[in-house]
Structure 1
Amino acid sequence: MADSFHDTGGLVAALEDAPFDRPPALVANAHVTGVSVARALDAHGVPVVALDRTDTGVAWPSDAIDYAGEVTYPLDDEDGFREDVERIVEAAGTECVAFACMDDWVRGFARTEPDGVRLPFSDLEGIERVLDKDDLYRLAEELDVPYPETYRLSETPADEVIEALGFPLVIKPAHKRKFEEAFGTNVIEVDSREAFDETVAAAEAADATVLIQEKVNVEVGADTSLASYVPPSGVDDAVAVVGNAAVRFPRQFGTSCLVETVDRPAIAERALSVLEETGYHGISESEFVYDADREEHVLLDVNTRPWKWISMPVRAGANLPMAAYAAVTDAEYEVDEVGEARWVYLRDYLELCATDEAFWDVLSAADWASLVSGTFEDSGDLTTGVYRPSDPEPTAQLLGTEFTDREYYCSC
């Protein structure tokens, strides 16, 4: 495990003395997703360097991480970020492979292209075609992939949009960054003309292009995503697993806290058709929700990076981070067999059980016994987001942020 979280200079000094027999992975940011990516790579002997702008993330103390330290946040200073990463690569004495666990870090690596860094995902143009929801929904329409009814104010007057959708409706950005900076979220539900006009005006002031979308009558517990790694050779060689976010916290609109594999070939086919048409390669999560009115799944989003429950496909037998690493190095990785798996994020799941009287625990007594004893790590289909008795420091770090005023800046 990393002996400490260094400042940039300290990390460079530590890496100068480090022997690497293969390219290390640069995992940024170093939180819930980061620790899962690190563990997936460490299981195959890949050295991991965790990068972040703060030491409050849960990942860096993990046994799966060899070195950890601070780099300039790419949104604050792209040139500074590139310079820091290039110093780290030079100190390591070998090329490195980037794993970016938030959109900001994805764009940071793709926009600055630091020397000596191999990117196991598409270039910036390919990424933006997927992340731009305007482009994504137009593409979905061309491919006959269902998506929520969506309008652009540049094409349809506001009065007509409101008449077509009614209230409540959803306002979301074509691109997240400027919208999130203005509103602190990437989706706003409005239930009146006054709220609609105020939100649109604030978005325009922030130079954030918005889409106006129906509020989908989402069936709780039916959200389904394709977790995949698509290599440069295309979707025919994709490593993929379909997962159902059976439990979210909060239940209606929160983040995933229990996800399980499901057999939904139509979801896989639709998601891969979108990825194929964009030409995107790399790790991604294609998100669908079940529209109870349409009685079918509709595409909401595609995340061009690892995400919170990525350890679920790893447990199922589809180690997406290792597949991505192998594609840009001399390492070998082949999927033998993909089976069933379940993933739980205990921090949120336990709070849900304790605070929502309408929710019934869906884990069995045997599941809880395996979690408490730690036997889930070696047998069965259950895995976790952070908690691992064999690697306790990330859980201790999480508790340290929960019960003090040291908060981490990312909800993942």
Structure 2
Amino acid sequence: MADTFHDTADLLDALESASFDRPPALVANAHITGVSVARALDAHDVPVIALDRNENGVAWPSDAIDFAGEVTYPLDDADGFRADVEDVVAAAGTDCVAFACMDEWVRGFAETEPEGVRLPFSDLEGIERVLDKDNLYRLCEELGVPYPETYRLSETPADEVVEALGFPLVIKPAHKRKFEEAFGTNVIEVDDRESFDETIAAAADAGANVLVQEKVPVKTGADTSLASYVPPSGTDDAVSVVGNAAVRFPRQFGTSCMVETVDRPAVRDRALSVLAETGYHGISESEFVYDEDREEYVLLDINTRPWKWISMPVRAGANLPMAAYAAVTDAEYGVDDVGEGRWVYLRDYLELCATDPAFWDVLSTEDWASLVSGSFEDAGDLTTGVYRPSDPDPAARLVETEFTDREYYCSC
């Protein structure tokens, strides 16, 4: 395990004293998603170096992580990020494989292309074909994949958009970065014309190209995603699992805190058709919601990276990080049978149980017993985010954050 989070110089010193029999994985950032990626790779004896801009994430003390330390944050200084990563590779004495757990780190690796870093995902052009929602929704239109009713103000006057959609409606960016910098979020719901005009004007001042979209009448508890790794050979060889975010916190529009495998061939086929058209390869999550008016799933977004519940497909038998690692190294990984899996993020799930009288606990007595005893780690279909009795330090750090003023931003 990494017994300390090093500054950059000390990290390099530690790596120069180490030896690796295979390319280490660079997992950035080192938080909720990062610890799940590290554990998935460690299960196959892949050495892991966790990188982050500070030590406040929960992942770095995990037994699955060999070294952890600071590098320049790519949004602060792209050239500094590339230089730090190249120094890490040189100190390790071998090529490394990048696993980026937030869009900022994905772009950091793809834009700067540090020497000695193998990317198990598409180049920047391939990533942008997916992350650009304007392009994504145009592809959906061509392929017949349902998506929310969407307007571009460059094509349709604002008055016509408002009349067509009514309020409330949703404003989201074609590209997240500038919009998130201006608003601190990547989706804004507006309830009246004044708010609409103010948001559009602020987005224009920030240089953010936006889309105006219907507020989908979402069926709560039906959100469904394709978790997949698409190799360079294409979607015919994809490793994938469909997961239903059965419980969110808060219930309707919060983040996932309970996800389980489901059989939804239409979701899988629609997601893979879009990924095939973009040519993207790598790990991704294709997010769908169930539109109660249309009575069908509509595509909202595709994340070109690991995400919070990445350990669910791993538990089900589809170790997406290992599949990605094997594709760019000499390691071997093959998927046999993909079965059932469930994932729970206990920090949010317990708060939901304690604070929402309308929510009824969906875990059984046997599930709780397996969580408390730790037996879930060795048997059954249930897994967790962060909490593992056999690897307690990440959960201990997560508990600490609830009682301190330490802040750590992560989209997971």
Match of 2:149 in 1: 149
Q: Distance in 2 between matches of 1:301 and 1:51?
A: 26
Q: Distance in 2 between matches of 1:275 and 1:56?
A: 34
For residues 94 and 359 of structure 1, what CA distance do their matches in structure 2 show? 50
Output one character per residue of 1:301-355: Cα deviation in whole Å (capped at 9) or x when no partner. 0000000000000000000000000000000000011000000000000000000
Q: Which residue of 1 aligns with 2:349?
A: 349
Matches within 5 A, 1:271-290: 271-290=271-290
SS of the residue 2:197 aligns to? helix
Q: CA contact under 8 A between 1:227 and 1:243: conserved in structure 2?
A: yes
Deviations 1:183-240 (A, max 9, x none): 1110000011100000000000000000000000000000000000000000000000
- 3-state secondary structure, aligned to 1:260: strand
Counterpart of 1:18 in structure 2 is 18
Report the equivalent of 2:2.
Answer: 2
User: What is the one-letter code of the residue matched to 1:43?
Assistant: A
Deviation for aligned residue 1:366: 0.3
Structure 2 counterpart of 1:401: 401
For 2:92 and 2:21, the matched residues in 1 are separated by 11
Residue 107 of structure 1: how far off its partner (Å): 0.2
Q: How many residues align?
A: 412
Preserved contact between residue 102 and residue 411 of structure 2 (Cα < 8 Å):
no
The residue that corresponds to 1:235 in the other structure is 235
2:52 is aligned to 52
SS of the residue corresponding to residue 27 of structure 2 reads strand
Q: In the alignment, which residue of structure 1 is the partner of 2:34? A: 34
Pairwise CA distance, 1:58 = 0.6
Q: Are residue 370 (structure 1) and residue 370 (structure 2) matched?
A: yes
- C-alpha distance in 1 between matches for 2:106 and 2:121: 9
CA distance in structure 2 between the partners assigned to 1:173 and 1:218 by the alignment:
20
- Counterpart residue identity of residue 157, structure 2: P
Secondary structure, in 3 states, of the residue corresponding to 2:371? helix
Structure 2 equivalent of residue 79 of structure 1:
79
Question: What is the aligned-residue RMSD (CA, Å)?
Answer: 0.4
TM-score where L is the length of structure 1: 1.00
Tell me if the contact between 2:230 and 2:283 (Cα under 8 Å) persists in the aligned partners. yes
Cα deviation for residue 409 of structure 1 reads 1.4
Q: Distance in 2 between matches of 1:157 and 1:409?
A: 36
Between 397-406 and 305-314, the greater mean CA deviation after superposition: 397-406
After TM superposition, list the pairs within 5 Å mapping 1:9-408 onto structure 2.
9-408=9-408
Work out the CA distance in 2 between the residues paired with 1:82 and 1:156: 41
Offset from partner CA, 1:112-141 (integer Å, 9 cap, x none): 000000000000000001000000000000
Report the Cα distance in structure 2 between the residues aligned to 1:192 and 1:261, rounded to whole angstroms. 39
Amino acid at match of 1:262: V
User: Which amino acid in the other structure matches residue 9 of structure 2?
Assistant: G
**Alpha-carbon distance in structure 2 between the residues aligned to 1:163 and 1:241:** 39
Q: Secondary structure of the residue that 1:5 maps to in structure 2? A: coil
CA-to-aligned-CA distance 1:268-293 (integer Å, 9 cap, x gap): 00000000000000000000000001
- Contact 1:29–1:102, Cα closer than 8 Å, also in 2: yes
Q: How many angstroms apart in 1 are the aligned matches of 2:178 and 2:254? A: 22
| Residues 226 and 242, structure 1, Cα contact 8 Å, conserved in 2 | yes
CA–CA separation in structure 2 for the residues paired with 1:309 and 1:410: 14
**Following superposition, which runs of at least 4 residues in structure 1 exceed 4 angstroms of deviation?**
none
8 Å CA contact retained: 1:258, 1:349 = yes
SS in 1 for 2:73: coil
Q: CA separation in 2, counterparts of 1:143 and 1:409?
A: 36
SS of 2:68 mapped into structure 1 = strand
Is the Cα–Cα contact under 8 Å of residues 401 and 408 in structure 1 kept in the other structure? Answer: no
SS in 1 for 2:354: helix
Q: Residue by residue, what CA displacement relative to the aligned partner does 1:9-66 show, whole Å, maximum 9, x if unpaired?
A: 0000000011100000000000000000000000000000000001010100000000
SS of residue in 2 equivalent to 1:284? strand
Q: Distance in 1 between matches of 2:231 and 2:275?
A: 11
C-alpha separation between the residues in 2 aligned to 1:346 and 1:86? Answer: 37
3-state DSSP class of the match of 1:21?
coil
Q: CA offset at residue 401 of structure 1?
A: 1.1
- Could you list the per-position Cα deviations for residues 226-261 of structure 1 after superposition, in whole angstroms to 9, with x for gaps in the alignment? 000000000000000000000000001000000000
In the aligned structure 2, how far is the partner of 1:330 from the partner of 1:157? 54
- 8 Å CA contact 1:133, 1:173 repeated in 2: yes
Read off the aligned partner of 1:316 and give its amino acid letter: A
Per-residue deviation at 1:411?
A: 4.1
Instruction: Structure 2 unaligned segments of length 5 or more: list them.
Output: none
CA contact (8 A) 1:127 1:304 kept: yes
Instruction: Normalising by structure 2, report the TM-score.
Output: 1.00
SS in 1 for 2:251: coil
Paired AA for residue 323 in structure 1: A
Tell me how far apart the structure 1 counterparts of residues 257 and 385 of structure 2 sit (CA, whole Å). 9
SS in 2 for 1:171: strand
- The answer as to whether partners of 1:218 and 1:289 remain within 8 angstroms in 2 is yes
In structure 1, distance between residues paired with 2:31 and 2:95:
23
Report the AA paired with residue 5 of structure 1. Answer: F
Give secondary structure in 2 for the equivalent of 1:309.
coil
Percent of residue pairs bearing the same amino acid type: 85
8 A Cα contact 1:36 1:310, kept in partner: yes
